[in-house]
A and B are shown apart, each in its own frame.
Chain A
Amino acid sequence: GQQVMQIPQYQHVQEGEDFTTYCNSSTTLSNIQWYKQRPGGHPVFLIQLVKSGEVKKQKRLTFQFGEAKKNSSLHITATQTTDVGTYFCAGPPGGNAGNMLTFGGGTRLMVKP
Chain B
Amino acid sequence: ETGVTQSPTHLIKTRGQQVTLRCSSQSGHNTVSWYQQALGQGPQFIFQYYREEENGRGNFPPRFSGLQFPNYSSELNVNALELDDSALYLCASSRTSGRAGDTQYFGPGTRLTVL
Interface residue ranges, A against B (CB under 8 Å): 1, 4, 6, 30-31, 33, 35, 41-45, 48, 50, 88, 90, 92, 97-106
Contact B102 A99 (CB under 8 A): yes
Determine whether the beta carbon of A44 is less than 8 Å from that of B106: yes
Number of B residues with CB within 8 Å of any CB on chain A: 31
Contact with A along B91-115 (1 / 0, CB 8 A): 0101010111111111111000000
Can you sample 29 A-B contacts with CB below 8 Å?
A4-B42, A6-B42, A30-B101, A31-B100, A31-B101, A33-B104, A42-B88, A42-B90, A42-B109, A43-B43, A43-B106, A44-B106, A45-B104, A45-B105, A50-B101, A97-B98, A97-B99, A97-B101, A99-B33, A99-B92, A99-B94, A100-B33, A100-B45, A100-B56, A100-B58, A101-B43, A101-B104, A103-B45, A106-B41
In the complex, what distance in Å separates the CA atom of A88 from the CA atom of B45?
Answer: 14
Please, how many angstroms separate the alpha-carbon atoms of A98 and B33 in the complex?
11
Q: Is B68 an interface residue (CB 8 A)?
A: no
Report the bound CA distance from A4 to B42 in whole Å.
Answer: 10
Partner pick for B59 among A1, A44, A48, A88, CB 8 A cutoff: A1
B residues near A, CB below 8 A? 2, 31, 33, 35, 41-45, 48, 55-56, 58-59, 88, 90, 92, 94, 96, 98-109
Given contacts A98-B56, A100-B48, contact A43 B31 (CB under 8 A): no
Min CB distance A99 to B, Å, is 5
What number of A-B contacts does a CB cutoff of 8 Å give?
74
A87 to B67, CA, bound (A): 30
Interface of A is mostly: loop
The residues of A that contact B104 with a CB separation of less than 8 Å are: 33, 45, 99, 101
Bound form: Cα–Cα A1–B90 in Å: 22
